[in-house]
């Protein structure tokens, strides 16, 4: 078997992973040992993600004429690709924790929802609240409205009672 069929299989595998992914992150893996990259793979696998090391040229062929084409601009040097399926925020946090441990990798960027994110953009994305947190915040705001109305309605008679008491006190002092 020559090299070309092997490369075609790799490109096909990459395309399959791209089809199943909602986001792809590109990182420079220079300096990582096999044990370290295996450790990172174990950390992202429970998040429904896969970390793959592939040649940039093969990735370039796989992303050509697809929604992932924007990755082309960050394909340089030794690249590891993290194919995320829905939990991009958690994957970025796992990467950041891994990077703090090893201090050897460098994030280059990624693509999610057809948009190219640079490193600061990915970090901001990681800081966004989850869907569940947003639902909780909205529910808290919705539930606080009746409470605020009740406090406001209760304050009207209380304020009126204080005003009457103050007038009565003034009359007693004047008398």
pLDDT in tens, 53-77: 999 999 999 988 788 888 898 998 8
Write out the DSSP string of the chain. --HHHHHHHHHHHHHHHHHH-SEEEEEE-TT--HHHHHHHHHHHGGGT-EEEE--HHHHHHHHTTSTTGGGGGG--SSEEEEEESS-HHHHHHHHHHHHHHH---EEEEEEETTEEE-HHHHHHHHHSPPHHHHHHHHHHHHHHHHHHHHHHHHHHHHHHHHHHHHHHHHHHHH-
Looking at the structure, tell me whether residues 43 and 96 fall in a common domain. yes
In a shared domain, residues 37 and 85: yes
For residue range 102-111, list pLDDT tens digits in order: 888 888 999 9
pTM over 0.85: no
Are 109 and 167 part of one and the same domain?
no
Domain tally, the chain: 2
Residues 34 and 112 in one domain: yes
Same domain, 87 and 43: yes
Same domain? For 135 and 102 the reply is no
Q: Which domain holds residue 152?
A: 130-175
């Amino acid at each position: 078997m020559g090299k070309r069929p092997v490369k075609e299989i790799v490109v096909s595998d990459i395309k399959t992973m791209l089809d199943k992914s909602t986001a792809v992150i590109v990182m420079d893996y220079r300096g990582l040992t096999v044990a370290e990259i295996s450790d990172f793979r174990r950390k992202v696998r429970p998040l429904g993600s896969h970390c793959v090391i592939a040649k940039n040229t093969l990735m370039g062929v796989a992303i050509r004429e697809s929604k992932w084409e924007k990755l082309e601009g960050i394909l340089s040097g030794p690249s590891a690709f993290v194919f995320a399926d829905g939990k991009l925020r958690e994957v970025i946090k796992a990467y950041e924790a891994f990077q703090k441990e090893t201090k050897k990798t460098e994030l280059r960027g990624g693509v999610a929802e057809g948009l190219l994110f640079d490193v600061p953009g990915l970090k901001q994305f990681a800081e966004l609240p989850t869907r569940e947190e947003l639902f909780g915040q909205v529910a808290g705001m919705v539930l606080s409205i009746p409470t605020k109305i009740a406090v406001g309605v209760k304050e009207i008679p209380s304020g009126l009672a204080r005003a009457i008491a103050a007038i009565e006190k003034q009359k007693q002092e004047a008398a």
